[in-house]
Amino acid sequence: MEEAPKNPLYLKTKTQVYEADTKLHGKIGKHIDLRQDVFSISKLAECQQLIDDAVSVFFKENLPNIEQMGVLLDRMKQETVLRKELAKELSQMAMSLKSQSETLGFVLVSNLINSLYRYSSSRKDFTEANLTVISKHLETLKVAFHNNLQGDGGATGKELMKSLEQLIAKFS
């Protein structure tokens, strides 16, 4: 067996080792009392209240985003030269809304938005059929929003997703 060549800098340089602080105290500061300042019952209740508040206004605050996506779709129908750029903007709005809906537990909305994002961001060009599918996504989202469909939307949510998937299959 042949020996590996030796490192010419071996024992000729100084090496310093820095240990990263992986403990929570090291990351947020040693002056923090985790039990009292972060994980206390009152702090956890405060955090839960913030989440509950965000959930309670989710549909009302985000319906304008769905309507704005509808405006972008209308522009896509009228301005054929700008379809790709407008679709990119629509996709970005969808991704932003997907993150929020997923975080707050709106599974149906998250799935609808994810489908819209995947569909609109994967097209190289946009035919009238493609615009119909995008329109159906937005209509389905409006139904979910106007009916405040929580979680996976139950039987209504399943029916909405099934209908949308059939349309996508038809035009893909």
What pLDDT is stored for residue 40 in this prediction? 81
Pair 84, 125: CB distance under 8 Å: yes
Q: Is the pLDDT of residue 112 over 70?
A: yes
What's the pLDDT tens digit per position in 36-59? 777 788 888 888 999 999 999 999
What CATH number is given for 56-171 in this structure? Answer: 1.20.120
Question: What digits encode the pLDDT tens for the residues 74-95?
Answer: 999 999 999 999 999 999 999 9
pLDDT of residue 5 exceeding 70, the answer is no
Please give the Cα distance from 103 to 107 (Å, whole number).
Answer: 9
pLDDT exceeds 90 at position 31: no
CA 145 to chain centre: 17
What span, in angstroms and rounded, lies between the C-alpha atoms of 110 and 123? 20
Percent of the chain predicted with pLDDT > 90: 66
Question: pTM of the predicted model, to two decimals?
Answer: 0.75
Could you give the percent of the chain with pLDDT greater than 70? 81
CA angle 113, 111, 54 (to 5 degrees): 75
171 has a pLDDT exceeding 80: yes
The reported pLDDT for the residue numbered 71 is 97
